[in-house]
A and B are shown apart, each in its own frame.
Chain A
């Protein structure tokens, strides 16, 4: 862990410039989103929405793995909780009756439908409750033991879903989930999560989490309650993961327990690692890179003509390339794009002035 020098407080002028630049960026994003809504190309729309969902999922994981330094591998389980909650509470009653052929759906759920936003919150709360139950035993463990225990719980959640025929339709999964995950929903929630994370990580709670990450024992001796803070981070992370899972369910239209294997956790982990564990802007940028990159690498699955080399399309080739890239990133650039730093305006300004050759002492990180 590198030690950081204490930075002098930024001059007031800087923060005004930052605010204006942020507002300009936001209006550009809003404009682009507005334009995107009118786009006829379904593929572009799908990828754009998936980017936003991945931002939510990556930030949820970053909160626990990056900011708190707890290596949890349980995200897929929490996503599954959110996805199934949203699905069960938004699918219209007539469709449910058709789907649950083997055993009917349990009583209040079979006719109950709720607004989409509410179901996301309910899913999040259920996942946070599950995280509390899982956290009580797991958060007492260290490092890799915790990783394997959370992974275990994620698998247990999946096994429970597979066996709870009258609640989840078991191995058949759920179909015809209303496609509520529009551009506005996905980006709206991603925006809320980004703002929350920015405020939370700079609050006293967030600083306590970072202290735990840097040195658990030192943090404890400074009076940080380890268990309470870890539990808070774990539950918040589960909440957002479930919201992301709910969005994913609405985005996909169909879900099944197979979607929430450990590999789903690894997919999100890849984004977090690439962006830098402990960097919000890193996760956001990496979510775009990974989502668009995976789509763009689809070329590799098709036929390739590279002069003398001809291949007739190998399905899955892009994932090989992608996982090899992840391996290269972790071996050679293990801090990812940003490490634990953020791309703030002053940092960018510092970089730019350094590039321009100014002698000014920038706050480039």
Chain B
């Protein structure tokens, strides 16, 4: 029972991390119909920012976390401004290639700026201390991560449902052209979407770093792809669905390895198999709406 509880908290915290990043994918996909391939690299840059803040400049953790999140968010906005906006009216395949190019560029840039050698993510005792609950020993992080995710999700929901910007974002996601005709400032709305999505990826990256403390320039690509899968699983374009998809993916991954340890080498393949199954059985995801293509 104790081990089950331990695995379950682990699964929930991994799932929450996936969820945080999946929100970014799903929001961007909602407004631009674009798989933001660079999202994983933005996540990676956030980890390096925290590393520099904590281990090189010795800033207090709250300062360096905030700085990292803000820089990450601005980087997301910059990527949209420079690489996606000029292609907004181009065929969708062009903007997808552009996203791949941004991800490729950021990976190479990180290799030059930070070196290809893996670094160790600095530990913040407040988050990484081990707690003992009865016979169960879990790091404080495993409890904090789902809580932080829930709080952020609630804030995001408030933003989307209660503010003008949120309403604009939902309108753009529903119908791009109609939103433009209604006088919604598309550029501002899309930039805000990227800002929020990237900031959430930044939060996710910090907690991911404390959980899996190794940073290298390609550290973002696998979580990036998996979180996109989580977004598809939940129904792309649906924020609550992204969270659900992330948690489900986390639980499936951790629990399969926990139950059949011989499968651990194949852990990275689970997500893709899950993706294929979902796309075949219910292409719109768990909470997605059905769409038909008009001729």
Interface residues of A (CB under 8 A from B): 1, 69, 71, 137-138, 140-145, 147-149, 151-153, 155-156, 159-160, 162-163, 217, 261-263, 266, 269-270, 273, 277, 314-317, 319-320, 322-324, 326-327, 330-332, 334
A315 cross-chain contacts in B, Cβ below 8 A? 111-112, 116
Instruction: For A146, give the chain B residue with the smallest CB separation.
Output: B279
Contacts of B112 in A (CB 8 A): 314-317, 319-320
- Residues from chain B with a CB closer than 8 A to the CB of A71 are 93, 96
Determine if A137 and B280 form an interchain contact, defined as CB atoms under 8 angstroms apart: yes
Stretch of B70-78, B101-109, B157-165 with 4 or more beta carbons under 8 angstroms from chain A: B101-109
Report Cα–Cα, A322/B34, bound state, in Å. 24
Select which of A140, A148, A163, A316 is within 8 A of B225 by beta carbon: A148
Which segment of B120-128, B146-154, B252-260, B262-270 sits at the interface? B262-270
Is B275 at the interface (CB under 8 A from chain A)? yes
How close is A110's CB to chain B, nearest CB, in angstroms? 23
Question: Which of B101, B116, B265 has most A Cβ within 10 Å?
Answer: B101
Contact of B229 among A138, A148, A262, A332 (CB under 8 A): A148
> Which residues of A lie under 8 Å from residue B111 when comparing CB positions?
315-316, 319-320
Q: How far is the CA of A217 from the CA of B293 in the complex (A)?
A: 10
Q: Are B109 and A151 in contact (CB under 8 A)?
A: no
Q: Within 8 Å of chain A (Cβ to Cβ): is B8?
A: no
* 25 A-B pairs with C-beta separation under 8 A: A138-B276, A144-B92, A145-B232, A147-B35, A148-B35, A148-B225, A148-B228, A151-B225, A152-B272, A155-B272, A163-B265, A163-B266, A262-B221, A270-B104, A319-B108, A320-B112, A323-B101, A323-B108, A323-B109, A326-B104, A327-B101, A330-B98, A331-B82, A331-B86, A334-B97
Proximity string of chain B (270-295) to chain A, C-beta cutoff 8 Å, 1 when within and 0 when not:
01110110011001000000000101
Closest to B90 in A: A334
Additional A-B contact list (18), CB under 8 Å, known A320-B111, A330-B98, A331-B86: A71-B93, A137-B279, A142-B293, A143-B96, A144-B33, A144-B92, A145-B283, A147-B96, A148-B275, A152-B229, A152-B272, A155-B268, A159-B266, A217-B293, A316-B112, A320-B112, A323-B108, A331-B98
What residues of A have a CB within 8 angstroms of the CB of B271 in the complex? 152
Q: How far is the CA of A174 from the CA of B81 in the complex (A)?
A: 44
B167 within 8 A of A: no
Our pick among B92, B229, B280, B283 for the contact of A143 (Cβ within 8 Å) is B92
The tally of CB-CB contacts under 8 A between chains A and B is 121
User: In the complex, are the beta carbons of B269 and A331 less than 8 A apart?
Assistant: no
Distance (whole angstroms) from the CB of A212 to the closest CB of chain B: 14
Shortest B162–chain A CB gap in Å is 31
Contact of B116 among A144, A316, A322, A334 (CB under 8 A): A316
Which B residues contact A (CB, under 8 angstroms)? 33-35, 82-83, 86-87, 90-94, 96-98, 100-102, 104-105, 107-109, 111-112, 116, 218, 221, 225, 228-229, 232, 265-266, 268-269, 271-273, 275-276, 279-280, 283, 293, 295
- Please, which residues of chain A bring their CB within 8 A of the CB of B279? 137, 141, 145, 149
A330 touches B94 (CB 8 A): yes
Which A residues touch B272, using CB under 8 A?
A: 149, 152-153, 155-156
A266 with B104: CB separation less than 8 A: yes
Contact of B108 among A152, A273, A320 (CB under 8 A): A320
Tell me, in angstroms, the Cα distance from A328 to B102 when the chains sit together. Answer: 10
B87: A residues at CB distance < 8 A: 330-331, 334
A326 touches B101 (CB 8 A): yes
Which residues of chain B are near A1, meaning CB under 8 Å? 91
> What residues on A are CB-neighbors of B218 within 8 Å?
261, 263
Chain A: CB-nearest residue to B91: A1
Contacts of A270 in B (CB 8 A): 104
Q: CB within 8 A of A159: which of B265, B275, B295? A: B265
- Please measure, in the bound complex, the distance between the C-alpha atom of A143 and the C-alpha atom of B236, giving whole angstroms: 14
**Which 9 interchain pairs have the tightest Cβ spacing?**
A152-B272, A323-B105, A319-B108, A327-B101, A163-B265, A316-B111, A159-B269, A323-B104, A320-B108
Chain A, residue nearest B93 (CB):
A71
Q: B83: which of A142, A155, A314, A327 is its contact (CB, 8 Å)?
A: A327
**In the bound complex, CA of A194 to CA of B266 (Å):** 38
Question: Could you tell me the distance between the alpha carbons of A326 and B107 in the complex, rounded to whole angstroms?
Answer: 14
A263 to B225, CA, bound (A): 13
Contact call B97/A330, Cβ cutoff below 8 A: yes
CA distance A314 to B112 in the complex (A): 7
Contacting residues, chain A, for B228 (C-beta < 8 A) = 148
Q: How far is the CB of B67 from chain A (nearest CB, A)?
A: 24
Task: Please indicate the chain B residues that have their CB under 8 angstroms from the CB of A147 in the complex.
Answer: 35, 96
Residues of A within 8 A of B265 (CB): 159, 162-163
What residues of B have a CB within 8 angstroms of the CB of A151 in the complex?
A: 225
B276 is contacted by which of A137, A144, A273, A323 (Cβ under 8 Å)?
A137
User: Hey, which chain B residues are within 8 Å of A332, CB to CB?
Assistant: 86
Q: How distant is A195 from chain B, measured CB to nearest CB, in Å?
A: 27
Known contacts A217-B295, A269-B100, A330-B94; A141 and B275 CB within 8 A of each other: no
Chain A residues near B35 (CB, 8 Å)? 144, 147-148
